[in-house]
Amino acid sequence: MKKEIVKPSYSKPYPDIITGCDTSECYIFDCLICKEKVKLAYKEQIFTNNEDRNITKEECDYLKEFYNIGYVGKSHDGGAPIFGKIYCEKCKANYFTYTGVSEPLNSCYHIYLQGIMLVERE
């Protein structure tokens, strides 16, 4: 069973950030293991590839299935689903991240945070 910190929603009224408008750079949460602050950088979800986000194709496939992102391939907010993996600097616990990214206007991105979950050690 995966421990989810943020769960997807189809009905988030507003993006977590709109680039160019919001100054918030990161989503910050407490590590489930050691309580250290862990940061997810919003900008790293745009114009990056899986390698930049430290995630493999297999892990992306797993997350697509886990989050029920079907053949249409849209995120819960209707954007592009972006997956990544970040870790706690203190205890090295890994977290999968899931954001929905869309570009309703040229170069203005809406980013919805849709999922964060602890990757449990085997």
Positions in the binding site for Zn ion (CB under 5 A): 31, 33-34, 36, 88, 90-91, 93
d(CA 120, CA 117) in angstroms, rounded, equals 9
Identity of the residue, 40 or 93, whose beta carbon is nearer to Zn ion in the bound complex: 93
Helix (H, G, I), strand (E, B) or coil at 45: helix
Q: Buried (b) or exposed (e) across 10-40, using 16+ Cβ within 10 A?
A: eeeeebbbebeeeeeeebebebbeeeeebeb
What percent of the residues of the chain are helix, what percent strand, and what percent coil, each to the nearest 5? Answer: 10, 40, 50
Shortest distance (Å) from residue 19 CB to Zn ion: 28
Identity of the residue, 40 or 88, whose beta carbon is nearer to Zn ion in the bound complex: 88
Identity of the residue, 30 or 52, whose beta carbon is nearer to Zn ion in the bound complex: 30
Shortest distance (Å) from residue 41 CB to Zn ion: 17
Shortest distance (Å) from residue 9 CB to Zn ion: 25
Closest alpha carbon to 119 in 77, 58, 68, 75: 58
Identity of the residue, 40 or 69, whose beta carbon is nearer to Zn ion in the bound complex: 40
Shortest distance (Å) from residue 93 CB to Zn ion: 5
